[in-house]
Amino acid sequence: MLDDLILGMAGAGGDGVVSAGESLLSAASSEGYHALMTKSFGSQIRGGESSCRVRLSTKKVLNPGGALDVMVALNWDDFFKFGAELPLSVDTVLIYEEKAGPPPETLKARGVVPTEVVPVAIAELTKKSAGTDKAKTSVVLGLLSGWFGIPSEAIGRGLKKKFGSKGEGLLEANEKALASGIEYARAHPLRTPHVISKPKGPPGSKMLCDGNDMCAAGALFAGVKFFGGYPITPSTEVMQTLTREIWKYGGTVLQCEDEISGIGATVGASFAGRKSMTATSGPGMDLKTEILGLATIAELPLVILNVQRGGPSTGLPTKPEQGDLYQAAFSGHGDVLRPVLAPTDVEDTFKTTVDAFNIAEQYQTPVIILSDQEIAQRKEAVDLIDTSRMEIIERRAPTEAELAEKPYARFALTESGISPISHPGMRGGTYLAAGIEHNEKGDPTSGGTMHAKMNEKRFRKLEPLKQRTDLFELSGNPKAPLALLAWGSTAGVAREAFQLATAQGHDVKLLVPYLLYPIAEQVYAGFFESVKHGLLVELSHQGQLYRMLRMFIDVPKGLKSFCRSGANPFQPAELVARLVELKGLPS
């Protein structure tokens, strides 16, 4: 029996591969399994290749996993388009559509040929059982249920939920296709059994959602009242969810004509006293940069979600990458400092979003959340979130005494750097908010002395943020000589690699930052004190966090950047192998 099962599927657009993965995920999570699904598409508007990978486990799932235990290829051309996203091993059970023909020589060129390769006449089974060729993936679900022990009853419930209201005969056809797949699997057993163990959790104990769902939910919990945005892959679902839900909480969504007006409206709503946010991806962030500078100098709270995708330019719109860190931290003229946070999975996207709103409100600053396509669009079965201990912070309003000053000093040079912020309609709180430098009252100035004071104020107020150790996850022996560091979606791979390395007897520790910028010098210095060798793992060509750390602190000579471009995911075992290699090097 297996405690962990990783399945992949690939086919053409319209084959229903992703839909089948979602049905599988829903069935498993309803039975109490920990489960995670990533999906990947070509960048075509219609058609093209599509794939998914589903990981089921009796214990917490940290990432999509390494080599597949099971791969279903409905045709070879589309399968090969996914490269490293669907890695095989000699132990993979490779199931393919018989009419597609045997695995081509190209498979051997990838360096791994599975020992168990199973042709199945999926299209023929579908036509024979369902009377249509539109239920192929239901046959596939039946094969997976019969061969790998995924509960057929739960899959059946999923089919009823999906097809029950979609026309007479459609549900019945898919149920027949499911049954034919199960029957075929039982009549043709695999050479080596691959049955997954029963889950430890009770049925119905998990919540199924993706990172964009969680971001929207976190924003609502934090009190967002305005969203201004423009659709862009892969962040659009945040706007869609808020469009459906925000009005229930007294809020508003404005779908704007472009990215620039989206952030312009968001800044205006914040000036009006409303908690505000926008969401985009890399190309949209390019366009939002100028008005982001306006929010910085006007000291207005707002949250910007950037769901990273492969770049530059249009790049890889449907693939994850971690290449926008420089953009988030440095894209702006003049001396600007804005906090950058990054969630590491679907579940913690909720808390990271709440943290972003709290930081924005407390420090009166734009805050950028760097999610990525994997986190945003992958679905996870997660535990219900306990919000009872989460604090909600509001911006500092002026006191009656401060409003009584004539004129009101909106940008007062306080000890903390945080000054009272009013909103239109507040008696005595009128002030000028503009993109030009100003004095304490908001009056325009071109004087170097006042400009220096305001720059110092805007930087000084964020110093306490760098001391927040709760925005960093540390695991392992604090004095360990080996280290792993990772952020964003790559952190899940590093967590599993840390567990593997520890189980193998290596003295290693792990650091996962949720706060990426400003750089928390003391946190990193303390972590690096004992480090002789280590890896900082990033899904970008340059390894941007590694280079940023070297700008601000003394990075140990033995800490190496391990980075690669997007759509080429890391595997836990390869991180462990790299660590072992480093361990053998002289200090």
Query: Which of 351, 382, 413 is at the close of a domain?
Result: 382
pLDDT band at 169 (very low <50, low <70, confident <90, very high): confident
β-pair type (482-486, 508-513): parallel
Quote the mean pLDDT of the chain. Answer: 93
Q: Residue 579 maps to which CATH number?
A: 3.40.50.920
> Do the domain assignments include residue 86?
yes
Query: Cis link prior to 234 (omega < 30° from 0)?
Result: yes
* 145 and 196 Cβ atoms separated by less than 8 Å: no
| Alpha-carbon span 276 to 301, nearest angstrom | 8
Let me know whether 92 and 182 are in one domain. yes
| Alpha-carbon span 466 to 520, nearest angstrom | 5
Let me know whether 162 and 225 are in one domain. no
Let me know whether 152 and 259 are in one domain. no
> Do the domain assignments include residue 401?
no
> Do the domain assignments include residue 122?
yes
pLDDT band at 1 (very low <50, low <70, confident <90, very high): confident
Predicted confidence (pLDDT) per residue in 416-457, tens digit:
999 999 999 999 999 999 999 999 999 999 999 999 999 999
The candidate with the shortest Cα–Cα distance to 28, out of 54, 65, 48, is: 54
- Does the structure show a pLDDT above 70 at 299? yes
Let me know whether 140 and 183 are in one domain. yes
Output phi, psi for 334, to 5 deg: 80, -175
Let me know whether 215 and 289 are in one domain. yes
Residues ≥6 apart with Cβ < 8 Å to 252 = 225, 226, 227, 246
Query: Which of 359, 382, 405 is at the close of a domain?
Result: 382
Count of domains observed in the chain: 3
Let me know whether 239 and 302 are in one domain. yes
Let me know whether 245 and 135 are in one domain. no
Let me know whether 39 and 175 are in one domain. yes
Let me know whether 225 and 174 are in one domain. no
> Do the domain assignments include residue 331?
yes
239 is in which domain, residue-wise? 208-382
Residue 344 per-residue DSSP state: -
Residue 503 per-residue DSSP state: H
> Do the domain assignments include residue 396?
no
With tokens 């081509």, the residue in question is 104
Predicted confidence (pLDDT) per residue in 516-556, tens digit:
999 999 999 999 999 999 999 999 999 999 999 999 999 99
Work out whether the CA dihedral 268, 270, 271, 274 comes out positive or negative: positive
Let me know whether 197 and 69 are in one domain. yes
> Do the domain assignments include residue 63?
yes
Angle among Cα 369, 371, 374 to the nearest 5 degrees reads: 175
pLDDT value of residue 201: 67
Query: Which of 166, 190, 205 is at the close of a domain?
Result: 205
Let me know whether 43 and 115 are in one domain. yes
pLDDT value of residue 45: 66
Mean per-residue pLDDT for 36-45? 85
Q: Residue 136 maps to which CATH number?
A: 3.40.920.10
> Do the domain assignments include residue 272?
yes
> Do the domain assignments include residue 475?
yes
Let me know whether 253 and 110 are in one domain. no
Predicted confidence (pLDDT) per residue in 463-518, tens digit:
999 999 999 999 999 999 999 999 999 999 999 999 999 999 999 999 999 999 99
